[in-house]
Amino acid sequence: MKVLVIGPGGREHAIVRSLLADPNVSEVHAAPGNAGISALVPTYAIDANDPDAVAALAVKLTVDLVVVGPEAPLAAGVSDAVRTAGIPVFGPSKAAAQLEASKAFAKEVMAEAGVPTAMARVAGTAEEAADALDTFGAPYVVKDDGLAAGKGVVVTNNRDEALAHAQSCFDAGGAVVIEEFLDGPEVSVFVLCDGSNTVALSPAQDFKRIFDNDEGPNTGGMGAYTPLEWAPEGLVQEVIDRVAQPTVNQMAHRGTPFVGVLFVGLALTSRGTRVIEFNVRFGDPETQAVLARLKTPLGGLLMAGAKGELDKVQPLRWTKDTAVAVVVAAENYPDTPRTGDRIRGLKKVDALDGVHVIHAGTKLDGEGKVVSAGGRVLAVVALGTDLVEARERAYDGVELVQLDGSQFRTDIGGKAARGQIRVAAPGTPAASKAKA
């Protein structure tokens, strides 16, 4: 089959790599791609958020499947345009993408489906926000209701800071969702959906804060690892039974069937498993780690999802290895990242045993050299026999990357490697709140 992957980042690079490893995939194309993707497959400089442009490219290339990576094209209706053109697409419709595009909508669907989640209130004014903050108390959790590329959430003990974030969302014409704080370690589970059926991938854990020890502002994600040896037995089945399948059923009942990835962000709290939020696409950087372990051919899985045939797929196969992804970010990320700097050492990283580089914010300059072009520039992904070895290999690779002013976290998977993450049984004192 011929596949077109839409998106410019690390998630899309990881998807392209996995598709190329599928013996049933004859061609892969990408739009717009990045420097790493363009080294592997043909790329096309179109606006990924333009439904008509994407559909026209898919028709021109006569592809058999379109895979939409980022949330913005999904919210813009790219999947709808491709489906209208008669081409199977793995990615939800504009209506179904509201599960990520609107936190308030997601809460409404969760309530209808009986999905366990944090108590929350929607606020559209400073007065409503202040009242909600006082209702739930500190730590305060304030989320931009709309898309914010993983950076629209503020968790703080400072009430003034929480109010200021809410006001910034109001000033931009939006609303906020204010929630109770959920204790316990966080987990990401990607669930493939075909409108009726669900298949879960291996859980991962990511790290949102820019600095070690979960300090500093939220980012799109600074690293991830999988599998989670400390996760409770039966977690994946619980996510399917209590979260993903009820949500897919409810979306179908609403007349907006969900086809694509339901990214379930969880907190394993002292009161049980709770959903933090939904996203409607593969997460970044968790995808880089999860797909590095997947042995089941990806193209066949995504096509089954697009065609409503996930009930026919065999149980997924995984390597026994652990995967770690460490993001290398540009100077001044996540504020106004510095771009245009040469990146050196990538071939040396790829030469390491069990290690590869995933490009995110990269492009080729006028001389054909790889330069930075975004906040999260790349990820170094490593496989190892256990988390300790995978971490060592990943950080060996990171040390070889040369990018002026770059930054990375040194503690991705650190606490788990030291056996320091505990999940509290419901009704007992909270488990560790930190992720590291």
Q: What is the pLDDT of residues 367-403, one digit of tens each?
A: 999 999 999 999 999 999 999 999 999 999 999 999 9
- The structural domains of the chain, with segments of one domain joined by +, span 2-91, 120-179, 186-417
Q: 219: how many CB neighbours lie within 10 A of its CB? A: 22
| Secondary structure E strands in 198-347 | 198-200, 205-206, 209-211, 215-218, 223-226, 259-269, 272-279, 322-329
What pLDDT score does 150 carry? 52
Where is pLDDT greater, at 324 or 118? 324
Residue 427 has pLDDT above 70, yes or no: no
What pLDDT score does 234 carry? 93
| Secondary structure E strands in 8-158 | 27-32, 65-68, 89-90, 120-123, 140-144, 153-156
Give the confidence band of 154 by pLDDT, cuts at 50, 70, 90. Answer: confident
Residue 255 has pLDDT above 70, yes or no: yes
Q: What is the DSSP string of 124-183?
A: -SHHHHHHHHHHH-SSEEEEESS--TT--EEEES-HHHHHHHHHHHHHTT--EEEE----
Q: What is the CATH number of domain 186-417?
A: 3.30.470.20
The answer, yes or no, to whether the previous bond of 32 is cis (omega within 30 of 0) is yes
pLDDT, tens digit, 9 for 90 and up, residues 316-371: 999 999 999 999 999 999 999 999 999 999 999 999 999 999 999 999 999 999 99
pLDDT, tens digit, 9 for 90 and up, residues 101-115: 888 899 899 999 999
On average, the pLDDT of the chain sits at 93
Residue 148 has pLDDT above 70, yes or no: no
What pLDDT score does 151 carry? 53
Q: What is the CATH number of domain 2-91?
A: 3.40.50.20
CATH topology of domain 120-179: Dna Ligase; domain 1 (3.30.1490)
What pLDDT score does 180 carry? 86
Query: Poorest-confidence range of 11-15, 158-162, 186-190?
Result: 158-162
DSSP conformational letter for 2? E
Q: What mean pLDDT do residues 148-160 have? A: 76
Paired with 357 in beta bridges are 380
